Chain A
Amino acid sequence: MRGTRWLVSYMANETPILRTVDLKKHYQRSGQTRFLSKGKKVTVKAVDGVSISIPRGKTLAIVGESGCGKTTLARTVALLTEPTSGEIHLDGAMIGVPGSDRRKAYQRMQMVFQDPDSSLDPRMRVGRIIEEPLRGLTDMSEADVETEATRSLVAVGLGEDFLDRLPRQLSGGQKQRVAIARAISTHPKLLILDEPTSALDASVQAQILRLLVELQDKFDLSYMLITHNIAVARYLSDIVAVMYAGNIVESGPTKEVTERPRHPYTMALIASAPDPDPWKRNLLSTEITGEVPSAISPPPGCKFNPRCPYAEGICSEISPPLEEVGPEHLVACHFSSKTVPK
């Protein structure tokens, strides 16, 4: 029981590797322009008050559809963009504030992006790509840098002969392996994986997923996995948080949330994920309608209410807070008592 194990370590009050408190990222954007006149400034609330916590050595999956703010959350946590408000604690220390050691934070936390074609410099050889963070973030000697780079490359299943290749000489899967090798070269504690397998073919996706599991065990890594794919989240994560329009609507142990979802949106998301099973055509019985609301003018109250089969008057007035419905299982829904699985 992975869920229970996680609970035990969590209750032992170990400092989580990553914790965010009411993290917000709002973007200012000029609104729709009319002829010869500028539109009003509008605020896009991409991440609107997110608190998460990742126990050491565990994987938290952030699941949601495009525009829900999951990538913005990852980029904010990785300090690639400044948070509007809120706190980020990495390994017990607050980061992203004046006086905190940014270099050390980057060394402890690395990111793997969705598309290796755009995250690898096409003119750099693989060796230099992997050495780059070592040169920038550590004080290693040149000789150490080279041994470390080779070590990372071997750890991701590529041989030393790849050091002199250029990204274009690699297949999609090999490129993503190089991106992972670069991320683990500085011995980080936390890897932020933003859709690491979405750009890959099915047979290669499985190889990368296997590799990520292997690396986690070998180097005691913690993962923050951003994905739209429930099956990938289910495979890789211990805890899952479902995001909708900038907020977390449900979170808890992965098994619990995916098998007994309580938020109507999580239920729809799981029901819409196709199973490779022609005898169980869940997709054709899905009842969800509509699409993700715009982040500029989300509906008032619970942002899911226009699409929700359980919605009542209160849902368009008051935004429901996250409440505990089971051990470590949080749901933001006024009617979570109605969604108890039979």
Chain B
Amino acid sequence: MASLLEVSDLTVNYNSRGSQLKALNSVTLSVKSEEFLAVVGESGCGKTTLGLSIIGLLPPGSAWFSSGSIAYKGVDLASLRPKEMRNYRGSEIAMIFQEPLTSLNPLRTVGFQLVEAIKLRKSRRHKADVEAGARSRPLPGRPSMPSFGRARIPDDVAEEVEAMLSLVRIADAKDVVSRYPFELSGGMRQRAMIAMALAQQPALLIADEPTTALDVTTQAQVLKLMKEIKDKLGTTIILVTHDLAVASQVADRVIVMYAGRIVEDAGVFELFSKPLHPYTQGLLSCIPKGDRKGSELSPIPGSLPDLRFDVNACRFQPRCKYAMKVCSERVPPLFEVDEGHKVACFLHGE
């Protein structure tokens, strides 16, 4: 499979209360087409920043790329102007967020927002067709003010809305389209969000903690749905999560991040059978399994580092039980220990 996305040596700086910090620090990764990749880490590890960087939604003014590139189908997204980036956002790369209530428009019905997405795609395709010199088709109606129940939207759009909603397993589509986001349950809202993201037929879907605000039984349904979509539509998915267990259930490959850097990158079976980085091992032994008699938890001592102080050392070294002299002298690069298994630890290279 060809690689869809190549992030190389990406560094993102943030301005935080007068001081600068590196939210991402020379991150290099590649995502293959039709892959289900999970990016796992604790708060502040840069996993969300990575997602926002790819889709070009970093807060303007307070965050910027200080080095590196994000090559999507050969185009460097990091160097695009905001206007050019719009051709990719939504139509090529879509994103869903943790709390659907804050990313849906509270004043518009779900149907309106879905129609908006579909019409936007159609007008974009139309524009692309015209530019490519294809026979000009009439533009679909203005992408503003479509409404349900008043027959102001073309039939093909209405059909597509229903198809989208049934794809995300919303059974009573007719009822749901006329509702406002606040009238839906958390699981329904997240499904509607996924439907909106998919309405533009993106090649890459970035899901930032899509199930963290949901209950476990709903989480299971939404994750199952994402897996189905990947298999059915061939959408490449990057799932950003803090939960290794969730990653193990759905992902093909897992990237573990710590303090702005990738510490381990491996296939899911490889990672869970042979975790190499002490941080990955620590995270795995932090998950309670069974009762306290059966399995003693071994928490990672200490707490997450303060990113405002840049250090030329392994960030995990103060919490690491295997720390050596070299760990506090240099930053460990990503060593490829096995085919497709990379780890940033001096225990496994040099």
CB distance from B323 to the nearest CB of A (A): 16
CB contact list, B249-299 vs A, under 8 A: 249-251, 268-269, 272, 282-293, 297-299
Task: Name the A residues within 8 Å of B127 (CB-CB).
Answer: none
User: What separation, in Å, do the CA atoms of A80 and B244 have in the docked complex?
Assistant: 36
Task: Name the A residues within 8 Å of B217 (CB-CB).
Answer: 65, 268-269, 272, 286, 288, 291
Task: Name the B residues within 8 Å of A207 (CB-CB).
Answer: 299-301
User: What separation, in Å, do the CA atoms of A66 and B300 have in the docked complex?
Assistant: 29
User: What separation, in Å, do the CA atoms of A205 and B221 have in the docked complex?
Assistant: 25
Range, interface on chain B: 35 or more
Contact with B along A263-289 (1 / 0, CB 8 A): 000001101111111110111101011
Task: Name the B residues within 8 Å of A228 (CB-CB).
Answer: 215-216
- Which among A9-17, A41-49, A139-147, A232-240 touches the partner chain? A232-240
Q: Does A125 contact B (CB under 8 A)?
A: no
Task: Name the A residues within 8 Å of B268 (CB-CB).
Answer: 278
- Do B249 and A231 touch (CB < 8 A)? no
Q: Does B219 contact A (CB under 8 A)?
A: yes
User: What separation, in Å, do the CA atoms of A254 and B242 have in the docked complex?
Assistant: 27
Q: Does B16 contact A (CB under 8 A)?
A: no
User: What separation, in Å, do the CA atoms of A284 and B219 have in the docked complex?
Assistant: 11
Candidates B250, B282, B301; contact of A283 at CB < 8 Å: B250
Among residues of A, the one whose C-beta sits closest to the C-beta of B44 is: A201
Q: Does B227 contact A (CB under 8 A)?
A: yes
- Do A201 and B43 touch (CB < 8 A)? yes
Q: Does A151 contact B (CB under 8 A)?
A: no
CB contact list, B128-144 vs A, under 8 A: none
- Do A174 and B291 touch (CB < 8 A)? no
Candidates A209, A278, A279, A284; contact of B227 at CB < 8 Å: A284
CB distance from A318 to the nearest CB of B (A): 24
Task: Name the B residues within 8 Å of A81 (CB-CB).
Answer: none
Task: Name the B residues within 8 Å of A172 (CB-CB).
Answer: 303
- Do B242 and A202 touch (CB < 8 A)? yes
- Do A276 and B287 touch (CB < 8 A)? yes
Residues in chain A within 8 A of chain B (CB atoms): 2, 65-66, 171-174, 201-207, 209-210, 213, 228, 230-232, 234-236, 254-255, 268-269, 271-279, 281-284, 286, 288-289, 291-292
**Beyond the given A204-B299, A232-B288, could you list 12 further A-B residue pairs with CB under 8 A, ordered by the A residue number?**
A65-B216, A172-B303, A202-B283, A203-B42, A206-B288, A206-B297, A272-B220, A274-B223, A278-B251, A278-B269, A281-B250, A291-B187
